[in-house]
Amino acid sequence: MAAGARVLAFAGSTRTESFNKKLVKIAVAGAKAAGAEVTLIDLRDFPMPLYDGDLEASEGIPTQAKRFKELMRSHDGLLLSCPEYNSSMTGVFKNAIDWASRQEPGEAPLACFTGKVATLMSASPGALGGLRGLVHVRAMLGNINVLVLPDQVAVPRAHEAFQPDGALKDPKQQAAIEQLGRSLAAMLAKLHSQASG
């Protein structure tokens, strides 16, 4: 059991029928099955203006960005399902990360990222399943002190991949996504036991 592991899960999309929202739910089930405590959020519920240094200087960090940042800070791991837009990450995902990276008074730099462990996945109608976008997500997170686990899954032809109940039609893909959640939970449990030992 992944005792003490707290995981924040979300997709880098606000679209109601997002393939990546469906995908991350499968990974969430895997993490929960391994004993992790998981908080699943929708970025639609955290509307943030585009990052603007002048806005930050005049008004501070927006309320929704602070809410998102606090969730990031209070969880140990991240399950991230990231759509690919024009061979990279989505604007809404990048903007959320940009706001969360802003340092507040008395706070260490990158406080809500340092020491976190993340697992990546993607789904796309294209033949590569969003794989090109994950390269950029992995590089960005690594540069802001997030440990990104090597295993990832990209689901191609996402418009044909899901059953009506949200499960993947391919049982091997379904198992692979569930395993991403389990592996993250297991890694967090291991790190937790080492820290408390």
Q: What is the pLDDT of residues 47-62, one digit of tens each?
A: 999 999 999 999 999 9
Give how far the C-alpha of residue 137 lies from the chain's centroid of Cα atoms, to the nearest Å.
10
Q: Which fold has domain 6-196?
A: Rossmann fold (3.40.50)
CA 163 to each of CA 160, 168, 169: distance values in angstroms, whole numbers, following the listed order: 8, 6, 6
- The pLDDT confidence band at residue 4, using thresholds 50, 70 and 90, is low
The domain limits of the chain are 6-196
Contact at 8 Å (CB) between 149 and 183?
Answer: yes
- The pLDDT confidence band at residue 193, using thresholds 50, 70 and 90, is confident
The two three-digit tokens of residue 96, written as one number: 């959320």
Q: Which DSSP string corresponds to the chain? A: --TT-EEEEEES---TT-HHHHHHHHHHHHHHHTT-EEEE--GGGS--PPP-HHHHHHH-S-HHHHHHHHHHHT-SEEEEE---BTTB--HHHHHHHHHHTPPPTT--TTTTTTT-EEEEEEE-SSTTTTHHHHHHHHHHHHHTT-EEEEEEEEESSGGGTB-TTS-BSSHHHHHHHHHHHHHHHHHHHHHHHHHH-
Rounded to whole angstroms, how far apart are CA atoms 118 and 7?
9
Q: What is the pLDDT of residues 16-30, one digit of tens each?
A: 999 999 999 999 999
Q: What is the pLDDT of residues 71-123, one digit of tens each?
A: 999 999 999 999 999 999 999 999 999 999 999 999 999 999 999 999 999 99
Q: Specify the pTM.
A: 0.95
Query: By CB neighbour count within 10 A (0-12 exposed, 13-18 middle, 19+ buried), where does 165 fall?
Result: exposed
